[in-house]
Amino acid sequence: MNLAINRVNEFQMGTLAILFASVLWGTTGTAASFAPDLSPLAIGAFSMGFGGLMQAGLAYRKILFAFDKLLQNKKLLAVSALALAVYPLAFYSSMKLSGVAIGTVVSIATAPFFSALLECLISKNNNITKRWLTSFAIGVIGIGLLVFSESASVSKSDDDLKLLGIALGLVAGLCYAIYSWATKALIDKDIESQAAMGSIFGLGAMLLLPTLWFTGDNLFASNINSLVMGYLTLIPQCLGYIAFAYGLRHVTASSANLITLLEPVVAAVLAVCIVGELIPFTGWLGMVLIVLCLFLQSQRRKNESNSLLNMT
């Protein structure tokens, strides 16, 4: 009985950790908007690169302890590190080209779909239930409404650039799903979550940081730029991913990525309140549907938790 109660608490704490990470990640686009003279490639490389080094540093003892197991899964580690390196470059470029709300929505909204495919095709772990499909469909409709409303309200962006931004958002969503799935796969192989995430981020940082040689102009040209880069590195990228790694210990990758649908809602609200973007009624309706999607997912985990209790 005590074991079942502990597992229920772990489900709840894992969910809260991922929700917390989603809120932090939702602030990235707004923060980056305060440094318009910076290249999105530089923002992504610096924040994820140095954030990754910090995570690797914090977890270095656990990485050393799990070093043999990590070597046994070197292919999985290499793929996830490459996906991690591509993700911030595509994500920040998507927001730059298509707008904060659209870039965030497309990048994050497609991740659950890609994660579910990876779990079904590679892990042979079919967690796609009727409730998951229903919540996913509601989330997709909500995201579509939000993207459409944002597209209608932003008239300055060139259509071709906006389409390129959306395409990069799809790339970011795929990469996000790959390294989330890979991190979960490493954790399932009895590797500590901090060791798995720290090693992936450390390797990804080695791929990202050299690109600053070509893209890093004006990184610290002003106090605002320095504050923006410091915030993005320490809070969303470092603290956010530590919380996400903890959550992945207790939640499947597909469910975790579905929970992160809260991120575009946070990003859209901040874009309106701080950046000054306008979102019409259909956009707010889309956010309501996304929240409903999250509610259905929380009910699914509640049912799973009750079934654990009933088994004892």
Give the mean model confidence (pLDDT) for residues 157-182: 83
> For residues 218 and 226, is the Cβ–Cβ distance under 8 A?
no
Of the candidate ranges 208-212, 224-228, 244-248, the one whose mean pLDDT is the lowest: 244-248
- Which pLDDT belongs to residue 139? 78
> For residues 157 and 101, is the Cβ–Cβ distance under 8 A?
no
| Predicted model pTM | 0.77
Give the whole-angstrom CA distance, residue 249 versus residue 230: 28
Give every CB contact of residue 28 below 8 A, 6+ residues apart in sequence: 47, 92, 104, 232, 236, 267
Percentage of the chain surpassing pLDDT 70? 84
Q: Band the pLDDT of 230: cuts 50, 70, 90.
A: very high
pLDDT digits (tens, 9 = 90+) for 244-260: 878 877 777 667 767 77
Give every CB contact of residue 229 below 8 A, 6+ residues apart in sequence: 35, 38, 43, 46, 47, 219, 220
Q: Say yes or no to pLDDT of 291 above 60.
A: yes
Give the mean model confidence (pLDDT) for residues 176-205: 86
pLDDT digits (tens, 9 = 90+) for 15-54: 889 899 989 988 988 898 898 888 889 999 998 899 889 8
Judging by beta carbons within 10 Å of its beta carbon (0-12, 13-18, 19+), is residue 312 exposed, middle or buried? exposed
- Which pLDDT belongs to residue 305? 43
List helix spans (H) across the chain. Answer: 2-25, 28-33, 40-58, 60-65, 67-72, 74-98, 100-109, 111-121, 130-153, 159-188, 193-208, 212-215, 223-232, 240-248, 253-259, 262-270, 281-310
Which tokens hold the place of 20? Answer: 């917390």
Q: Say yes or no to pLDDT of 153 above 80.
A: no
The DSSP 8-state label assigned to residue 192 in this structure reads -
> What string of DSSP letters covers 222-241?
SHHHHHHHHHHIIIIIIIHH
pLDDT, mean over the chain: 80
Give the whole-angstrom CA distance, residue 179 versus residue 181: 5
311 vs 55, which has greater pLDDT?
A: 55
- Which pLDDT belongs to residue 309? 37
Only one residue has tokens 């530590």, namely 242
Give the whole-angstrom CA distance, residue 98 versus residue 73: 37
Amino acid at 158: D
153 vs 167, which has greater pLDDT?
A: 167
